[in-house]
Amino acid sequence: MKRALGVGLAALLGAAPLAMASTEADDLERRAAESREVVRAFMQALKGELMRAMQEGGPVRAIAVCRERAPAVAARFSRKTGWEVGRTSLRYRNPANAPDAWERHVLESFEARRRAGEPAARLEHYEVTVRDGRRVFRYMKAIPTGGVCLACHGERLAPEVARALDRHYPGDRARGFRVGDIRGAFTIVQPLD
């Protein structure tokens, strides 16, 4: 819509509005590229903590690390960037990670795209939108379920893992996943005004 307007105006007025439209598109692409970079670093930090904990103390010990470290790492990236950086899911474990309406909609569209054949690892979505009356850039990238995730998110959990999860997450919905399923998504909000 915006671009069509830009091109129409450009035809009337010369090149300037076209340049403006392309600046807007460039800005969107730049914000998406920066979001991708932050997601990559965030994911690497989480994976590092998880793998270390699994190797040192097995999944029951690693649950404590996920519980304490995952929110702390998200908070560190949020502080560093000035954005909201986190994880969400349609079937979440921690209610603090429940999706808002926009995130739910995007997660549902990811499910539909995966059913249509797109691999979970390639699913992303971004746009400029309005939240609570303010313009924001929002970015989401799907998180595929890998083999290592099944110890705590799979269909068959070791009894001591299930017990530890029951204790900390009585409403846990993040079990029963298979390799290749969409476990959830990284989610970023960049304020624009």
- Determine the Cα angle at 149 with ends 117 and 45, to 5°: 100
Q: What is residue 183's three-state secondary structure?
A: strand
* Residue of 142, 157, 175, 184 that binds ligand HEC (CB under 6 A): 184
Q: Which two tokens stand for residue 5?
A: 């307007």
Contact string (CB under 6 A) for ligand HEC, positions 89-128, x = contact: x--xxx--x-------------------------------
CA max distance for the chain: 70
Identify the bridge partners of residue 137 per DSSP, sorted by sequence position.
128, 190
* 169 half-sphere exposure, CB direction, 13 A CA radius: 21
- Of 35, 49, 59, 181, which one interacts with ligand HEC (CB under 6 A)? 59
> How many residues bind to ligand HEC according to rule CB under 6 A?
25
Query: Of residues 36, 67, 76, 113, which one binds ligand HEC by CB under 6 A?
Result: 67
Q: Would you give the DSSP letter of residue 171?
A: T
DSSP E strands in 33-133: the ranges are: 84-88, 124-131
Residue 140 binds ligand HEC (CB under 6 A): no
69 binds ligand HEC (CB under 6 A): no
- Nearest approach in angstroms of CB 127 to ligand HEC is 21
- Interface with ligand HEC, residue 39, by CB under 6 A: no
- Residues numbered 77 to 96 that lie near ligand HEC (CB under 6 A) are 87, 89, 92-94
Return all residues near 157 (Cβ < 8 A) that are at least 6 apart.
Answer: 151, 165, 175
Give the interface with ligand HEC as residue ranges (CB under 6 A): 50, 59, 62-63, 66-67, 70-71, 87, 89, 92-94, 97, 143, 145-146, 148-149, 151-153, 174, 183-184
